């Protein structure tokens, strides 16, 4: 089985390719932009992006969209995380969190897979955690330096790829995709 992952994000590619190869499955990258609609719903964003990728590249591919949902900020930045990171960055997010005691948050991921017939299946992963008061670590990307997943004392940016994949929202969603595909293959064969 060969899966194709459509992403221009090098960090996502590194995490996902490392995870999938551990299952003995080949993964290829399609380094292309796809339509990213503005929506409050990660699943909708991923589904539309997957259909756009299908029109360009055919089936047996997947896309991923993710966001950081901060409880004290009523879920902000959520699906707008990439834009918020580009505009106000980590320092801006921490400024919004100044004096906030409730620092709980969740990273959520939606992985949308399109089969050869254009049918879309979406798999969701979530990891709960806390927002730090200062950035820590040099790995990862986006808001990784300020997010500590529950069960760890380290931010995603302080972890290597394998350790992050043990906790991450993206890894959880990709594992759900892999379970689905492996179950489908075993029922066909």
Active site residues: 65
What percent helix, strand, coil does the chain show, rounded to 5?
40, 25, 35
| Residue that the structure tokens 């075993």 belong to | 186
Structure token digits, residue 39: 């929506």
Strand partners of residue 89: none
User: Residue 74 gets which letter from DSSP?
Assistant: T
């Amino acid at each position: 089985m060969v899966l194709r992952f459509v992403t221009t994000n090098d960090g996502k590619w590194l995490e996902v390719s490392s995870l999938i190869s551990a299952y003995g499955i080949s993964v290829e990258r399609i380094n292309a932009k796809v339509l990213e609609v503005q929506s409050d719903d990660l699943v909708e964003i991923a589904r539309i992006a997957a259909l756009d990728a299908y029109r360009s590249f055919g089936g047996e591919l997947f896309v991923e969209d993710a966001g950081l949902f901060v409880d004290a900020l009523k879920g902000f930045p959520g699906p707008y995380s990439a834009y918020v990171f580009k505009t106000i960055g980590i320092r801006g997010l921490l400024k919004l969190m100044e004096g906030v005691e409730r620092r709980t948050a969740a990273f959520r991921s939606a992985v949308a897979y399109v089969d050869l017939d254009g049918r879309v299946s979406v798999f969701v992963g979530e990891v709960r955690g806390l927002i730090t008061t200062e950035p820590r670590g040099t790995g990862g990307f986006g808001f990784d330096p300020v997010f500590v997943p529950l069960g760890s004392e380290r931010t995603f940016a302080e972890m290597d790829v394998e350790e992050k994949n043990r906790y991450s929202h993206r890894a959880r969603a990709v594992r759900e995709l892999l379970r689905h595909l492996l179950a489908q293959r075993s029922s066909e064969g």
